[in-house]
Structure 1
Amino acid sequence: MRISLKTAVCLIVILAGTVKVKAAIGFPEEVQASLALKVPGNAAVEYPLSLSGLSGAEYEWKAQGQMPMSLTQKISAEGDKQRITVCLTASEDVYFNFREWVPTGFRHEDCLFYLPGFWYRRNLRSPQSAPSFHSSDSWIVREDRLSAPLTGIFNEVTGDYMTVSRIASFGKEALTTHKEGEVILSGSTSIGFTGFENMKGTAALAFGFPYREAPKTYMRKLTLAPEVTAFQLLRKGESVTLVWDFYKSNSKDFSDFVRRTWQDSYDTYQPQPVRTAYSPEKMKQVLSNYFVESLVTNQPLVFNSGAHMPVADCQSVAVAEVGFVGRVLLNAFNAWEYGWQTGRNELKADARKVFDSYLVNGFTPAGFFKEFVDFRKGYEEPVHSIRRQSEGIYAMLHFLAFERENGRQYPEWELRMRKMLDMFLQLQNADGSFPRKFKDDFSIIDKSGGSTPSATLPLVMGYKYFKDKRYLASARRTAVYLENELISKSDYFSSTLDANCEDKEASLYAATATYYLALVTKGKERQHYTELSKQAAYFALSWYYLWDVPFAPGQMLGDIGLKTRGWGNVSVENNHIDVFVFEFASVLNWLSKEYDEPRFSGFAQVISTSMRQLLPYEGHLCGVGKKGYYPEVVQHTNWDYGKNGKGYYNDIFAPGWTVASLWELFSPGRSEKLLAR
């Protein structure tokens, strides 16, 4: 948004104690606000506030006693929304924190809650050591945790919902010396807070400025810390302006609520493509250096080192990971294809070494991929994941299809892939799902079905490549499970391998899986899969940032100018952004044509341009040690994986998957072409 911050502090909220306001938003007589003022070295003093009429739609927040600040609030219509403006003016130098609560009138126990990119429903898939209803039924968080600075509350009984969105320029951030308790900002910030609270059984929207987090702040993976309240200095005679929009409507279910709220947020924040000097061709040229420098050839398996790598020097590590996060086989195929396209014989030769070594040494006794091997420790992971196995087959079927198209065939690889797909048929459950984790003897370690859509892709590809209808039948059964358990319930979970919670990748894989099925079916069946893909795509989109979070001076990502719009948050447990997109932009462009929906293609372009920003090359290494090793754990809020915090990366990363993801982003329509053959 391009609303400038003026010298006056106007907080825009939607409530006041008049009949007119009551009709617009409901229960205004229960609206509450408070102002906390802090003198350095002393505990803050909290002033409960009450509304008093001035004139027209303008009101004043007053405290019982004298306080060194005046607050006025104005209410106006903004289309079908209500916009609230509260202006804070200091009569002496003060450090302040303002907050307000708007009761929705919904019973708290009837509601599902939405903080985009961070909180879905009640976060009950997440453990107690991450933000969830397991720990509390009331949460407020700093806005930069969220893909849009918004809270929504959905009444599951009536279908009514209410949202509050922050409207600001979001250009400033300030450092603090502490991350919990009462903290004084070193300068001005644009980051406020938002969330929901249980007010004596009624669900309420909670919001304010500057940021607070309660009942806990989420500081590290599975680490909750004490709450935090930030105080910003306002000098005598100065004012500050803050704005929120409120919206109330009705949806048929939580999924439709998420869809409508994302569309409204897209229209509100209007994310535009990021201007970069890097074309897709330039991106691939630079990224290809990763294929060259990361190759490990002194082990039984040849592979591109892509996991557990130090960010500082990007020295190769003797860990081979077939799928996520290493994506060894997909990187080998990308290098192979690119070598043919550009005449780079060294890339072809290196990729061939990878394929040949995996054909000889890359399979378990049962015939599954050795999906994770740590040669440093002599350790081979005995537990398989349906996701990594699927990603390995996916990569090899792309390779085999490319080779067949060019008159070359590999019968040994074909036999291996058919055997793996046949074993998939054995693993599939009666409801169409696949177990998340299992062993070589087919014993189940984790029966959770959240990773099922990852298996749909190789099954559809196997059907097209081998002309075997059993694989298509199996893929169709996965779609039944996806529709019944994930998509219809808006419950996307357990796709991220190092977390078992609500995550982006489950919805992204669900959208891609049903896209694949739509590409190989016709008529009403095709339309049904297309609808499912659209529904899942909106949920996946909700994880992607529609705005640019600010960074403080000295935080590297801000100093090099990173714009966060188009980047996706990962999961409830892993609260950072990354470039996980793979084929999702192709799905969005396809859906845009299917439904004549320009928001899909428009945001696909935002994703495509924004994810080019951290391309590392000489003189522009973006904090990593080598050219083309694209960064992974991009820490954009007050959270870290164990090192460095906001504005930096963790100390180790996995460029294997980031390079593979970007490569697919810049190879649009690849699977559509394969499935059309």
Structure 2
Amino acid sequence: MSAVTLQVDGSPESVVGLRRGRATMVVHRPIVVVPTRGAPMATQYDTFDASGETVRCTATVEVPGELALDIVDIYRVVAPDAVALTRRVEVRQAREGAGMRLELEAAATSPGGGGAWQYFLPCTLYNRNDSDGDGVEDYLGTFDQALRDDKNGVLAVLTRCEVTGSTFSLARTSAPTSDAALTREELLGRRVLQPTDIGSLGVITRPDGSTVLHAEYPFREERTFCLDMAGTGWEAFCPVETGQVIELAYELRVDSTGDLTEAIWRLFERQRRLLGTSRPDPGVTLDDALEHRQLATQLSYRRWTAEENPKEPAGFLVHFSPRTGDVQGSLIEFGFSGDQTLVAWAQLEYGYRTRVPLYRDRARSVIDFFVRHCQLDNGMPQGIYDPVHDRFVYWFTGILMPFQYAEDEQDVRRFVGKQVAEALMPVARELRGVEGNYTRTMCESFWPLLLAYELERAHAVEHEDWLQAACRFGEFLLRSQASDGSWYRAYSTSGQGLTSPASWFGASEVEQKSGTIFPVPVLVALHRITGDGRYLDAARKAADYIIDAQVEPTVYVGGLNDTTHVKSVKTDAVGVMFLMRSLLTVHEATGEPRYLAAAVKAAKVLCSWVYLWDVPMPEGSLLARAGFRSTGWAGCDVIASGSYLDNEFLEFTADLVRVAELSGERALFEVAELVEYGMQHALSTPENDHGYVAPGLQCEGVLTSYWLSAPDVTAFSGAVNKVKGDDNDTCNALTNAQAAYGLYLLADRYGTTEFTEIRRRLGWS
């Protein structure tokens, strides 16, 4: 394909255009100035000076009584598909107290495309966000979206014509460096005048079949969950004064790609180079971090005596505050945020590696309790046990766990606040009458159990009852697998796939059967241990299904069990992680190349959730005081968008390294390195305790922007009613077990956890 060319059309209102083949990107509204007082001013350039592959444009903008600006935009071809835009704005005159916002729009057209657009806004908009298949974006209800820079880990927006392959992107190439805290009044007022370097990027669909990519400085979000569940928009203006200079840098690209995954990956890699992303230094070695984590996990262990509960339940409790160590409730959760057997496996490994019997004995007690008391006759495991009342409870996990603590609806409102309670109370009432378990939590219970079984057997310790329990679950998986290779997201205790309420279990087949991304590692482990070929056959069928249902159409959903609102089955990063692992696992078990190729595609989409730059935190915020850096962290899901970054990726770094090794894709290794080191930045250490009660604690997630931040009153904070620069004030032993899994797997496979040495051993140094 020919290289991109810069054009000025020569009309009385000339515009700058990029052309590559038949695809065009026209900067049709290059300058829009929105003052805090007076009407917005939209203007074309006053002068053009074209020289080779560079066009210099100037404009003068005056808002009577407010301000006068001199603007110089320089467009320069910098690559076969890319044009750099540098913007210099000088405030020639300004009223005292004046403020403004600058906006830029570029329209993308692809003749013959018929308006079949796909989109990418990092952590926010993947393809069309329409996994329920109704033609409407599932979360904000529109494809017209804009994203604050601090929610945009790649600092870019992309659209692609599905018919022609023409691909267009707009990126900010100068990372923001400052941001100020917002007051309660500013959050409620929706119009903010503040000194900030946070802009926004977005996309607008047009009736003529074109798509507009746009940038604002500072930010504007017409619909967003930053403030509330209603999607209320907000906007910012920067204070200006005479003589002030603002400099911005963008890049516009016109490309042609074979599919959306390729388009996303090319943009991600381009931005990684332009932003100069490098490995973070968390101030602690990975081995020392692991030691702090494993010791801290012991603090959450609890075993009830026979007098308290004849079953003598044991587990590592969830939802404790890192500042006080106080535990919310007393539930033992298997899978998801509790993931008891993964924590137990990690502690079993720790006990063997340190030769401390106490850690091994505690780990065994947790798995023994699970095997003896938490499995139904049909092989299904239960998910959440209440040891105080000797009963199982259902569905409300993670951020919604307080629904289990609450005695009544008023108590729910007290725990999670008015917004969350009112949004979820109707579905909560319906779910109260349904007993069952998620496919994710069932598989997360048995896969680590099988790892623990193999670990013990390697040390001449036999647990036949553990293996028998896992085989019973394996038989359940074989019985419940559909002919197309799929499993439902959740099952009733009688073993029936659940589809109602649709907001919780899925409104389309791809949502309802999103449980298929989880069973493969269990099945392959059972095949490895027992030699039963049925397990491997089932794993292969599952891999075929998820390639067809999620990988090829670029529709990844179903990783998380919980939600704050809108819908439970959603696009999230951890769903891509599990899917990548499943495809990798089948490839390693069968050697079939198509599974590795699909794992690579999933890995590249997964990388797009990762932050390539460090978000500036408000001075005095918790994250600012702790020296937090966002590089290497991944967004959680598209509802919270990039506002909330969580820890799940710690469990999957070794999987990503393995995909990189087998495929020869060195860039995937480099992203895994960013994640492994960057995500130690929220860990308390003796040198940087974050105000936590002990080293080795890490909250579930951190707030790098705003999410449901309009003031509310909550007893359980979670991530609700938080603002930028906060953590979510909630720890689970799971985070440390996930980190241990990733690091132990690296150590066992490569003989070290240090990426510099792993790189050398892979021949990439």
Output the TM-score relative to the length of structure 2. 0.80
Please tell me whether residue 125 in structure 1 is matched to residue 134 in structure 2.
no
Please tell me whether residue 573 in structure 1 is matched to residue 579 in structure 2.
no
Give 1:100 shift. Answer: 1.2
Tell me which amino acid in the other structure corresponds to 2:722: N
Equivalent residue of 1:308, what SS?
coil
Give 1:665 shift. Answer: 2.0
Please tell me whether residue 631 in structure 1 is matched to residue 662 in structure 2.
no
Aligned equivalent of 2:271, options 257, 265, 275: 265
Contact 2:34–2:101 (CA under 8 A) maintained in structure 1: yes
Task: Note closer, same or farther for the CA distance 1:174–1:131 as it changes in structure 2 (3 Å cut).
Answer: farther
Tell me the number of residue pairs that the alignment of Structure 1 and Structure 2 aligns: 648
Task: Note closer, same or farther for the CA distance 1:241–1:169 as it changes in structure 2 (3 Å cut).
Answer: same
Aligned equivalent of 1:545, options 582, 593, 611: 611
Please tell me whether residue 649 in structure 1 is matched to residue 660 in structure 2.
no
Aligned equivalent of 2:46, options 44, 52, 76: 52
Give 1:404 shift. Answer: 1.4
Summarize deviations over 1:571-619 as a string: whole Å, max 9, x none.
Answer: 1123310121245322222232233322111121111111112221456
Tell me the residue number matched to 1:206: 214
Tell me the residue number matched to 1:255: 261
Tell me the residue number matched to 1:313: 324
Q: What does 1:143-542 align with in structure 2 at a 5 Å threshold?
A: 143-177=149-183, 178-179=186-187, 183-187=191-195, 189-201=196-208, 202-214=210-222, 216-219=223-226, 223-298=229-304, 299=309, 300=311, 302-316=313-327, 317-375=329-387, 378-381=391-394, 382-446=435-499, 448-498=512-562, 499-522=568-591, 525=592, 527-542=593-608
Which shows bigger deviation, 375-384 or 199-208? Answer: 375-384
Determine the C-alpha separation between the residues in 2 that align with 1:594 and 1:618.
38
Tell me the residue number matched to 2:423: none
Determine the C-alpha separation between the residues in 2 that align with 1:455 and 1:634.
29
Give 1:143 shift. Answer: 1.3
Contact 1:181–1:227 (CA under 8 A) maintained in structure 2: no
Task: Note closer, same or farther for the CA distance 1:45–1:626 as it changes in structure 2 (3 Å cut).
Answer: farther
Q: What does 1:32-71 align with in structure 2 at a 5 Å threshold?
A: 32-38=30-36, 43=37, 45-56=39-50, 57-63=55-61, 67-71=67-71
Contact 1:322–1:328 (CA under 8 A) maintained in structure 2: yes
Task: Note closer, same or farther for the CA distance 1:108–1:264 as it changes in structure 2 (3 Å cut).
Answer: farther
Tell me the residue number matched to 1:594: 662
Task: Note closer, same or farther for the CA distance 1:480–1:262 as it changes in structure 2 (3 Å cut).
Answer: same
Summarize deviations over 1:126-165 as a string: whole Å, max 9, x none.
Answer: 899x975762231112111122110001111111010011
Which shows bigger deviation, 496-505 or 363-372? Answer: 363-372
Task: Note closer, same or farther for the CA distance 1:108–1:616 as it changes in structure 2 (3 Å cut).
Answer: farther
Contact 1:180–1:225 (CA under 8 A) maintained in structure 2: no
Contact 1:294–1:305 (CA under 8 A) maintained in structure 2: yes
Task: Note closer, same or farther for the CA distance 1:436–1:44 as it changes in structure 2 (3 Å cut).
Answer: farther
Tell me which amino acid in the other structure corresponds to 2:628: L
Tell me the residue number matched to 1:8: none
Give 1:365 shift. Answer: 4.0
Tell me the residue number matched to 2:117: 111
Give 1:620 shift. Answer: 2.7
Contact 1:131–1:218 (CA under 8 A) maintained in structure 2: no
Determine the C-alpha separation between the residues in 1 that align with 2:212 and 2:41.
20
Determine the C-alpha separation between the residues in 2 that align with 1:468 and 1:539.
33
Aligned equivalent of 1:22, options 17, 20, 39: 17
Give 1:180 shift. Answer: 5.9
Contact 1:624–1:631 (CA under 8 A) maintained in structure 2: no
Task: Note closer, same or farther for the CA distance 1:92–1:184 as it changes in structure 2 (3 Å cut).
Answer: farther
Give 1:380 shift. Answer: 2.3
Equivalent residue of 2:462, what SS?
coil
Determine the C-alpha separation between the residues in 2 that align with 1:17 and 1:241.
26
Contact 2:62–2:68 (CA under 8 A) maintained in structure 1: no
Contact 1:302–1:357 (CA under 8 A) maintained in structure 2: yes
Tell me the residue number matched to 1:585: 653
Tell me the residue number matched to 1:91: 92
Tell me which amino acid in the other structure corresponds to 2:73: Q
Determine the C-alpha separation between the residues in 1 that align with 2:182 and 2:7.
32
Give 1:451 shift. Answer: 2.7
RMSD: 2.5
Summarize deviations over 1:140-195 as a string: whole Å, max 9, x none.
Answer: 121111221100011111110100110114221112331365534443x2211001
Contact 1:563–1:610 (CA under 8 A) maintained in structure 2: yes
Which shows bigger deviation, 560-569 or 88-97? Answer: 88-97
Summarize deviations over 1:468-515 as a string: whole Å, max 9, x none.
Answer: 111000000001101110111111101211131111112111111111
Give 1:250 shift. Answer: 0.8
Determine the C-alpha separation between the residues in 1 that align with 2:646 and 2:259.
29
Summarize deviations over 1:284-318 as a string: whole Å, max 9, x none.
Answer: 22112333211111254544434233343222341
Unpaired stretches in structure 2, ≥5 consecutive residues: 1-5, 395-434, 500-504, 506-511, 563-567, 709-718, 751-765
Q: What does 1:607-618 align with in structure 2 at a 5 Å threshold?
A: 607-618=675-686
Give 1:549 shift. Answer: 1.2
Which shows bigger deviation, 160-169 or 587-596? Answer: 587-596
Determine the C-alpha separation between the residues in 2 that align with 1:425 and 1:405.
28
Aligned equivalent of 2:690, options 622, 628, 642: 622
Task: Note closer, same or farther for the CA distance 1:480–1:404 as it changes in structure 2 (3 Å cut).
Answer: same
Tell me the residue number matched to 1:5: none
Task: Note closer, same or farther for the CA distance 1:419–1:379 as it changes in structure 2 (3 Å cut).
Answer: closer
Task: Note closer, same or farther for the CA distance 1:456–1:558 as it changes in structure 2 (3 Å cut).
Answer: same
Tell me which amino acid in the other structure corresponds to 1:33: I
Tell me which amino acid in the other structure corresponds to 1:515: L
Equivalent residue of 2:157, what SS?
strand
Summarize deviations over 1:109-131 as a string: whole Å, max 9, x none.
Answer: 41111101211112223899x97
Summarize deviations over 1:546-572 as a string: whole Å, max 9, x none.
Answer: 111111102211222111111110111
Tell me the residue number matched to 2:105: 101
Task: Note closer, same or farther for the CA distance 1:407–1:192 as it changes in structure 2 (3 Å cut).
Answer: same
Equivalent residue of 1:520, what SS?
helix
Give 1:28 shift. Answer: 3.1
Unpaired stretches in structure 1, ≥5 consecutive residues: 1-13
Tell me the residue number matched to 1:78: 78
Output the TM-score relative to the length of structure 1. 0.90
Tell me which amino acid in the other structure corresponds to 1:558: A
Task: Note closer, same or farther for the CA distance 1:256–1:393 as it changes in structure 2 (3 Å cut).
Answer: same
Tell me the residue number matched to 1:665: 742
Tell me the residue number matched to 1:4: none
Equivalent residue of 1:445, what SS?
coil
Task: Note closer, same or farther for the CA distance 1:460–1:53 as it changes in structure 2 (3 Å cut).
Answer: same
Summarize deviations over 1:294-350 as a string: whole Å, max 9, x none.
Answer: 111125454443423334322234111111111111111111111111022221221
Tell me which amino acid in the other structure corresponds to 1:507: V
